[in-house]
């Protein structure tokens, strides 16, 4: 059967996964009466809850006697490591762009990677049914983006389709006909070249890895040359050509619709999964025993943020989670780093602490969320940027390109806040509907914790996008959090009467009945210093009846932080304690005497 391998790339929320749903339906993968879920490719719980794609996934369909292998890629910049690897497996890409928003930072990031590999994109302008759509202007913006990324003449002559994945149609004209996806299918067959099989023995570059309880490690990639058969002897080579292991392929699997099926033989050019190896991982080449040269793998962009993961040593440790030992946490982190090439795990001088580096806050927050759902208890520190040095020994820090769409009335406040965080305003222009588009280059340090502040300043109306831009000279000191915190001075359960009397000191973060301990953060102080408070103090009860009836205590709704909010809120001397049931904020040193001693030592040095 003829083959086509394509990836669908786009900025987050531009409709990639919805488009794949419609392509699967219209190609006849499902029966007419078969019940299907929305966003079928988003398979894990967190993807469904957040409405985002985190892991790249494969599917396959047949159109006019041609099998089309499709890869759904993540849209968030934090998961860019997934996208970079995937582009090596395909011969063409469909670049999906929102007809109202136009090209966004992640569009630029993934398109740049695709153009560098020599791929020729098909541009699909999606969501044309939106009242604020501006398809003609967006097409001009896409062309300018191609030109700015040094696309060659062939790549600049890109074909275009318009449509709405939600309404299940694509057409060569913005006005229709609005009946099916056939124009996009036909364009893929016409414009994407067939995979070129190379001469020689079996070679496959592993681009994704997963674990199966029955088959063990499963590696997915495109066969560059030769054929893959079950029980075939193979070996795995690292990127620099060193032998990792030898073994046999126990199963060859290929996608047929959403299901993965065992096949007798995988041919060159096809995307398949192989099982049977125990040590080979992403970016390794699986080859016939006679082959000595690995397939060249693209180096992945370096991590920009790091975080300290450590054993939970608080008084409530072990009461809510089952996996608390440093050995278990270490094994889980190393397993994650094995399959996610954008993640790096390093040991520290302390036996129960590890430094985990990744592309952004969201990537690290998703890892922590997955671990707590698996029963882990751990403490994590504030995200820190990963610095580099140039040849002259000067410190370089990561800079991100930030695009914010905001109502005109709030643009002044946004510019002021980001300028304080050492950001540089590059562009300010209207983006339609009484909104302004602001483009900045900002240090990653300055953006940690900024999103919550932005939403507060713009009453939740801003759209915030960011992507890694480059390493540049250090921008100088940036002021952190302006307020101090309220700390519990004892261990027990918080009492409503005590919380009510503390509300003048600042907003609380806990409800009555919450378990607290000494050194745990229970609220935000309105002033710049930390303050120890008693949240366990109940009302003194006497046998003398009071003249007036006691008023029922009415508490203000506490300030509850999400996991990402907590990570960006804490300062350098604080930790987030994460368990399957709770997210608590605390000081790294729980004892007040130890904190004072550490402060004096810091001032002396």
Would you list which residues are annotated within the binding site for GTP? 13-18, 126-129
Q: Tokens representing 49?
A: 């809850």
Strands (E), 394-473: 395-407, 424-432, 435-443, 463-473
Cβ pair 184, 164 in contact under 8 A: no
Nearest Cα residue to 573 out of 558, 561, 555, 585: 585
- Rounded CA-CA distance 21/323 in Å is 37
- How many CA atoms lie less than 13 Å away from 571 in the CB half-sphere? 16
- Rounded CA-CA distance 79/362 in Å is 9
Q: Tokens representing 44?
A: 């894990």
- Rounded CA-CA distance 443/460 in Å is 23
In 325-484, which residue ranges form alpha helices assigned H by DSSP? 326-339, 361-373, 411-420, 444-447, 450-457
- How many CA atoms lie less than 13 Å away from 490 in the CB half-sphere? 10
* SS3 (DSSP) at 150: coil
Angle at 554 between CA 553 and CA 557, to 5 degrees: 135
Q: Tokens representing 212?
A: 């199966």
Q: Tokens representing 315?
A: 């008084």
Q: Tokens representing 19?
A: 């488009």
β-pairing, 92-98 vs 2-10, is parallel
* SS3 (DSSP) at 56: coil
Cβ pair 600, 591 in contact under 8 A: no
- Rounded CA-CA distance 79/10 in Å is 12
- Rounded CA-CA distance 304/129 in Å is 38
Residue 204: CB partners within 8 Å, gap ≥ 6?
219, 221, 222, 223, 224, 228, 272, 274, 285, 286, 287
- Rounded CA-CA distance 478/529 in Å is 18
Question: Can the peptide bond before residue 392 be classed as cis, meaning omega within 30 degrees of 0?
Answer: no
Place of tokens 């900002």: 442
- Rounded CA-CA distance 364/523 in Å is 25
Nearest Cα residue to 386 out of 376, 395, 397, 378: 397
Nearest Cα residue to 177 out of 224, 128, 216: 128
């Amino acid at each position: 059967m003829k083959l086509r391998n394509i990836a669908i790339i786009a900025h987050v929320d531009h409709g990639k996964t919805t488009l794949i749903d419609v392509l699967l339906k219209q190609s006849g993968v499902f029966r007419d009466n078969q019940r299907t879920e929305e966003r079928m490719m988003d398979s894990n719980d967190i993807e469904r809850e957040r409405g985002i794609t985190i892991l790249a996934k494969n599917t396959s369909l047949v159109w006019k006697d041609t099998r089309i292998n499709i890869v759904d890629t993540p849209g968030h910049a934090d998961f860019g490591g997934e996208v970079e690897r995937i582009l090596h497996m395909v011969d063409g890409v469909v670049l999906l762009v929102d007809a109202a928003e136009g090209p966004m930072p992640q569009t630029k990031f993934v398109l740049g990677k695709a153009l560098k590999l020599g791929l020729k994109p098909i541009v699909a302008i999606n969501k044309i049914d939106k009242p604020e759509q501006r398809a003609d202007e967006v097409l001009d913006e896409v062309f300018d983006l191609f030109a700015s990324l040094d696309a060659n003449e062939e790549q600049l002559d890109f074909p275009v389709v318009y449509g709405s994945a939600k309404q299940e149609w694509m057409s060569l004209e913005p006005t229709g006909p609005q009946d099916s996806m056939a124009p996009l299918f036909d364009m893929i067959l016409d414009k994407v070249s067939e995979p070129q099989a190379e001469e020689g023995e079996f070679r496959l570059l592993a681009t994704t890895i997963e674990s199966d309880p029955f088959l063990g490690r499963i590696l997915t990639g495109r066969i560059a040359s030769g054929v893959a058969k079950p029980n075939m002897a193979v070996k795995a080579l690292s990127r620099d050509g060193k032998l990792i292991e030898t073994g046999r392929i126990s199963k060859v699997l290929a996608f047929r619709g959403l299901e993965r099926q065992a096949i007798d033989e995988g041919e060159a050019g096809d995307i398949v999964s192989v099982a049977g190896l125990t040590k080979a991982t992403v970016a390794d080449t699986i080859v016939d025993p006679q082959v000595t040269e690995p397939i060249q793998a693209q180096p992945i962009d370096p991590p920009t943020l790091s975080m300290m993961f450590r054993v939970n040593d608080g008084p409530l440790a072990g009461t809510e989670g089952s996996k608390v030992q440093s050995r278990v946490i270490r094994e889980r982190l190393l397993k994650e780093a094995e399959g996610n090439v954008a993640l790096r795990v390093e040991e520290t001088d302390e036996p129960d602490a590890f430094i985990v580096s990744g592309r952004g806050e969201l990537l690290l927050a998703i890892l922590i969320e997955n671990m707590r759902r698996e029963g882990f208890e751990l403490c994590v520190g504030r995200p820190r940027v990963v610095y580099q040095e140039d040849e002259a020994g000067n410190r370089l820090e990561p800079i991100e390109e930030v695009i914010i769409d905001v109502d005109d009335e709030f643009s002044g406040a946004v510019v002021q806040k980001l300028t304080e965080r050492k950001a540089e305003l590059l562009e300010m222009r209207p983006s339609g509907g009484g909104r302004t588009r602001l483009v900045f280059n900002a240090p990653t340090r300055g953006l940690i914790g900024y999103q919550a502040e932005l939403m507060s300043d713009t009453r939740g109306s801003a759209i915030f996008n960011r992507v890694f831009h480059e390493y540049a000279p250090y921008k100088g000191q940036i002021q952190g959090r302006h307020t101090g915190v309220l700390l519990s001075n004892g261990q027990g359960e918080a009492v409503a009467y005590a919380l009510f009397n503390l509300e003048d000191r600042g907003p609380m973060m806990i409800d009555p009945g919450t378990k607290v301990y000494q050194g745990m953060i229970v609220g935000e102080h309105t002033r710049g210093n930390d303050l120890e408070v008693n949240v366990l103090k109940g009302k003194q009860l006497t046998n003398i009846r009071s003249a007036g009836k006691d008023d029922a205590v009415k508490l203000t709704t506490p300030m509850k932080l999400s996991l990402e909010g907590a990570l960006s809120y804490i300062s350098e001397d604080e930790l987030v304690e994460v368990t399957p049931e709770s997210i608590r904020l605390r000081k790294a040193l729980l004892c007040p005497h130890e904190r004072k001693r550490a402060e004096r030592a810091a001032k002396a040095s």
